[in-house]
Amino acid sequence: MSEPTLPTRTCVGCRNRESRGQLTRLVVIDGELCLDPRASLPGRGVWVHNRACFERASKRNTFQNALRVKTLQVPSALVGQIPTGESDS
């Protein structure tokens, strides 16, 4: 193992590991899932690649498990703030 260790996070949608810069962070604030565009908010966060990964995680209640909360509000406007990830690869 000679490769340098880059900080990576696991996308909760597809379970692939990725460098932080390629992922969008979400945090829970007062029981509500919020975008953390600068990845700077305190607390437990989850990471997704894009909208497709967000929706995949949302359908499986993956956010609650990853964030270790019993209930979680996902605002309907939130998905619109997540990059689609389809314009570039």
Site residues, Zn ion (CB under 5 A): 11, 13-14, 49, 53
Measured from the CB atom, is 14 or 72 closer to Zn ion?
A: 14
Measured from the CB atom, is 15 or 44 closer to Zn ion?
A: 15
Tokens standing for residue 18: 């990725």
Minimum Å distance from CB 30 to Zn ion?
26
Contact 16, 10 (CB under 8 A): yes
Minimum Å distance from CB 2 to Zn ion?
27
Contact 50, 32 (CB under 8 A): no
To the nearest 10°, the Cα dihedral for 17, 80, 33, 18? 10
Tokens standing for residue 89: 């690869």
Minimum Å distance from CB 38 to Zn ion?
20
Measured from the CB atom, is 14 or 35 closer to Zn ion?
A: 14
